[in-house]
């Protein structure tokens, strides 16, 4: 698996450590949520572990994809997934009662416009952009 674990950037952890518990909820634009365990290593890095691999597989993350996290509440992140072209990635919604739903078609342009007053704090988003790679 290419993306078995992912760490949270150090600068983000320094600023928001008190708002992170032993697990986090990742919520995507269509409302689906994923529970992910957080683990701290000997160097103080916080890693997304149990549950992260399921999230990456479900969203078909590939090298070069961009995942943007926004800390909405304590241990709750709103997550947007983009292809290397910066287009929002389409993915299947979580299964409900064993039945898959259609691909999401959520538009997020107004939430990522730089310099506009929105619910997204752009300067904080930039601290937690994760460029996934195989190293």
Beta bridge partners of 65: none
Where does the pLDDT of residue 77 fall: very low under 50, low under 70, confident under 90, or very high at 90 and above? very high
Q: Under a CB-based contact definition with an 8 Å cutoff, are residues 34 and 26 in contact?
A: yes
**82-116 tens-digit pLDDT:** 888 877 776 665 554 444 443 333 333 334 444 44
pTM of the model: 0.66
What are the pLDDT digits (tens) for 22-42? 999 999 988 889 999 999 999
3-class secondary-structure state, position 102? coil
Q: What is the mean pLDDT of the chain?
A: 72
- Tell me how many degrees the CA angle 98-36-111 measures, rounded to the nearest 5: 90
Which of 36, 19, 18 shows the shortest CA–CA distance to 27?
36
Identify the structural domains of the chain with CATH numbers, from first to last: 6-131 (2.40.330.10)
CB-based contact 114:122 (threshold 8 Å): yes
User: Residue 95's pLDDT is what?
Assistant: 53
Largest CA distance in the chain: 42
């Amino acid at each position: 698996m290419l993306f078995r674990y992912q760490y949270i950037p150090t600068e983000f952890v320094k600023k928001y450590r008190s708002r992170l518990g032993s697990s986090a909820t990742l919520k995507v634009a269509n409302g689906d949520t994923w529970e992910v365990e957080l683990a701290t290593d000997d160097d103080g890095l916080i890693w997304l572990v149990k549950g992260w691999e399921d999230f990456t597989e479900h969203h078909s993350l590939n090298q070069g994809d961009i995942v943007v996290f926004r800390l909405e509440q304590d241990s709750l992140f709103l997550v947007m997934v983009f292809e290397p072209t910066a287009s929002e990635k389409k993915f299947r919604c979580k299964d409900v009662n064993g039945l898959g739903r259609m691909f999401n078609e959520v538009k997020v342009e107004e939430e990522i416009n730089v310099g506009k007053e929105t619910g997204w704090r752009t300067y904080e988003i930039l601290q937690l952009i994760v460029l996934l790679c195989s190293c």
